[in-house]
Amino acid sequence: MLTITIAPFLVAILAPAICRFTPRACGWILALLPLGLVLYLASLAPTVWNGQTVVATTSWAPSLGLDLAFRLDGLGLLFALLITGIGVIVVFYSGGYLAGHRHLGRYYVALLMFLGSMLGVVLADNVILLFVFWELTSITSYLLIGFDHEREAARNGALQALLVTGTGGLALLAGLLMAAQITGTYQISGLLAGGDLLRDHPLYPAVLALILLGAFTKSAQFPFHFWLPNAMEAPTPASAYLHAATMVKAGVYLLARLTPALGGTDLWWWTVTLTGAVTMLAGAWLALRKTDLKQILAYSTISVLGILTLLLGIGDEAAWTAMAIYLVAHGLYKGALFLVAGAVDHEAGTRDITRLGGLRSSMPMTAIAALAAGVSMAGLPPMVGFIGKELVLEASMRQQGMITLTAAVAAAGALLFAAAGLAAVRPFFGAAGSPPKDPHEAPLTLWLGPLLLAGSGLLLGLAPGWMNAAAASAAGAIAGSPSPPVKLALFHGFNTALLLSLLTAAAGTALYLGCARLRKLAMPQWGPAGWYDAALDGVMSLAAAQTRILQNGYLRYYLLTMIAATVGLTGYAIARLTALPLGANLGDVQFHEVVLVIVILVSVAVAVRSPSSVTAVAALGVVGLGMALIFVLFGAPDLAMTQVVVDILTVVLLVLVLHSLPQVSRPTKPGPRFRDASVASSAGLLIGLLVLGTAAIEHPADSARYFIENSLPLAGGRNVVNVILADFRVLDTLGEVTVIAVAAVGVFALRRLRERPGEKS
Amino acid sequence: MNSVLLATAARLFKPLLLLVSVFVLLRGHDEPGGGFVGGLLGASAYALDAVTRNTGSARRKLPLAPHVLLGAGLLMAAASGLPALLQGEPFLTAQRYEAALPFALQITLSTVLLFDAGVYVVVMGAALLIMFTLGEEQI
């Protein structure tokens, strides 16, 4: 399973080469990857639907509790099939949609990496691994929204999505770590088994709040929904894939996955259900007020995400089954409608429904796909959307005394019915519109995808029994225990749900006919999007203010601030100690050591007193070499070598830049002189104290002895220092060299930043 | 700095320094040395050139741009962790391979060497990138 998660990343590396080699066919070629994944997952499906789980674990960094642990159960399989299945269609559709685009290769890199990350999210069985993939989906989503990076709206939309979901991701990390600490395991399956421990813990509300924050931001729940419509700046197939069918459902997945650990409490019920209900109604209402096809679809997606969240909030067998079916239904019809919107935009040159109409004669195949998907979205038979909606209504009715909940679901159903009319019927029927381009049928790549998706919706609607096993095993995975078999049918008999469906259809038709008037209704102009802007402005002005104070452009004040802060903070910590142990032992000081110290002291005096910068630099070099000699005398040749070379390079660097540094005259006034001298000498004093203190501490000899004894037998090296750096603690070293590289790039970038005004090249 | 002596010495010392730096890198596992010092020594070979002539001359003699070195070194260091994964061991676990050379010589290669070489390349690239960036202003 590691292989199927890594494969998309490997293919992503090859994608630009394939697209350069055969730009016309690369969509079809790359679609083979998700197709292969679908077939592989399908081959595992019977096992999973029989109630077994497929587990694969590879050690990654076991000492950090981080394993590449993957686990495929009913819930993961449902999502994975959705991701790879719709992935096939989106990948080849993109080839036609972005045909001839010069960055097609770059687009596929991000898209395939997203596919892999999303698979990772739903298959990961380790909280850290889950988080890593979760963040990767945010990053690839950022790249895809900002794909058309020359437009400001695309850049802003991308940044907003990244900031909102990234902030949620941090909260999620904190929540997951707390949960892992409480249950004592980083394994998700282990964490789920420790659900009672979590629910009874005093920190349960905090854990729940943090994890919900992560899930709600990702799945665009109110009040974080505002990023999703702005994410519509992405190329349409990416919107269809990320922002309708898969990524935004990651939050829903997380809630479902963690239900056995966090669910079942009153707090869960009220928070999740209410958030879902508000999102469901707000999203559907706002969808009707839009005229851009993608915006209508985006807001209706928010509404559906609300429904899914609401079902998880309710949290019983019926709700979980309804969640599984509605998830599939929505993925199929919303994916299809987005792809239709892309085809319409491609062929007619606009997505504005007030300028579109009567396209059915010029784009018949697209119209068929749109109509079928629209019927599913409206919740009418014989599509799978009908079954989904019936199940949602039934699940809401099973809640005793919650008539408002049923009413809200029915109202959202009516609003979505009208939105389906706007998105799927309006552009294709009625009088011809006035699009900027003369519309004609889209090429095969653009209509085949939506037709396949909508056709699957019809097929599953007519033969819902095929989903019995999938729905039952998904519901069982959410419940954390095997679930009773599910029997789905298109027609449930004449019951209250059917009656409600008829009512919503009637109300939806009325809303559809009156939507032009709805759009004129005045709405308050404030909302969460405004809060986001205010918060962003606040952060920016805070950053500007502290930059003005701390980074005033004078190097000497930077040094002063850094040293004074270090002295202050460390000094505070030392002052809190009751007794400072000092390990000075002046008994066995040798004569040559005294000489060395005198040399160093004299060089320091020269460096401080010398009027010439060059002399001061040279004197500092002597100090460094003296230190290296001390290292040699005390048996640390590795340290000495490094010290010598660092010292030489530092002097060279100083000599190189000395000309361009401003000539700073030394402070002559007593005030600044006293300030500088006191900061410098207190820093020296502090370091001296620290060294003496360190020498006095009895070292835990075990670790030193361990390294010395095991260096040769375990790592085959006699240089213990090097073996520690490059073998025992190699992960630390990897981190350190990364820091070195980043620091060097930082210096380079800063320098370039200064050059930009008046730059010629 | 226009010193004939220094310029002549630099021409002789540069290849020597590079050789020594690689030597220091290779012996690091058993004797004092290693990738960090080696990389700094390698950078100082070019620093010598930068001091005697100018940074532009040093930059031209470098076969790869410093930022390419940075990326390549990081890749090498990270890649040294991958063979362990193939063996089913944790990322970055050292792997050793015995290789027979002609003339009945035996050599032990390990991923640690690849890692240390990566460190060497990163450190050299970082030192040179900083030096070139800061030193170029006066030209």
**Shortest Cα–Cα distance, B86 to chain A (Å):** 9
Beta carbons of A61 and B91 less than 8 Å apart = yes
**Distance between CA atoms of residues A370 and A219, nearest Å:** 25
Query: Nearest CB to B70: which of A655, A731, A741?
Result: A741
**Distance between CA atoms of residues A422 and A293, nearest Å:** 8
- Alpha carbon A45 to chain centroid distance? 28
**Distance between CA atoms of residues A315 and A265, nearest Å:** 10
A-interface mutation test, from B2, B26, B29, B75, most A Cβ less than 10 A away: B29
pLDDT band at B139 (very low <50, low <70, confident <90, very high): very low
CB atoms within 10 A of CB A468: 16
**DSSP assignments along A665-698, one per residue:** PPP-SHHHHHHHHHHHHHHHHHHHHHHHHHHHS-
Residues 36-75 of B with CB under 8 A from A: 36-37, 40-41, 43-44, 47, 50-51, 55, 66-67, 70-71, 73-74
The reported pLDDT for the residue numbered A759 is: 45
Q: Which residues of A touch B79 (CB under 8 A)?
A: none
Low-confidence ranges of chain A (pLDDT < 70): 401, 522-526, 578-587, 659-667, 697-702, 754-761
Contact in structure between B22 and B34 (CB atoms under 8 Å): no
**Could you tell me which chain B residue has the CA closest to the CA of A643?**
B37
Residue A433: strand, helix, or coil: coil
**Could you tell me which chain A residue has the CA closest to the CA of B27?**
A719
CB atoms within 10 A of CB A679: 17
Beta carbons of B43 and A649 less than 8 Å apart = yes
The reported pLDDT for the residue numbered A620 is: 87
The reported pLDDT for the residue numbered A761 is: 38
The reported pLDDT for the residue numbered A216 is: 95
pLDDT band at B2 (very low <50, low <70, confident <90, very high): low
The domain segmentation of chain B, as residue ranges, is: 4-138
Q: Which two tokens stand for residue A250?
A: 């990651």
The reported pLDDT for the residue numbered A323 is: 93
Helix ranges, A184-235 (H)? 188-193, 195-200, 204-218, 227-230
Q: Which two tokens stand for residue A669?
A: 């006034």
**Cα B100–B104–B108 angle (5° rounding)?**
35
Give per-residue pLDDT as tens, B19-73: 999 998 888 877 888 888 999 999 988 888 888 877 788 888 888 889 899 999 9
A-interface mutation test, from B112, B114, B123, most A Cβ less than 10 A away: B112
- Alpha carbon A39 to chain centroid distance? 28
Beta carbons of A719 and B31 less than 8 Å apart = yes
Q: Which residues of A touch B112 (CB under 8 A)?
A: 715, 717, 726-727, 730
**Distance between CA atoms of residues A197 and A181, nearest Å:** 11
Strand partners, B109: B97
**Distance between CA atoms of residues A617 and A647, nearest Å:** 10
Give per-residue pLDDT as tens, A407-450: 888 889 888 988 888 888 888 887 777 788 888 888 888 899 99
Residue A100: strand, helix, or coil: coil
The reported pLDDT for the residue numbered A728 is: 80
DSSP 8-state secondary structure symbol assigned to residue A245:
I
Contact in structure between A175 and A143 (CB atoms under 8 Å): no
Give per-residue pLDDT as tens, B69-83: 999 999 999 888 888
Query: Nearest CB to B29: which of A652, A655, A717?
Result: A717
The reported pLDDT for the residue numbered A164 is: 92
Give per-residue pLDDT as tens, A106-140: 899 999 999 999 999 999 999 999 999 999 999 99
Residue A5: strand, helix, or coil: helix
The domain segmentation of chain A, as residue ranges, is: 280-520, 548-697
Q: Which residues of A touch B122 (CB under 8 A)?
A: 737, 740-741
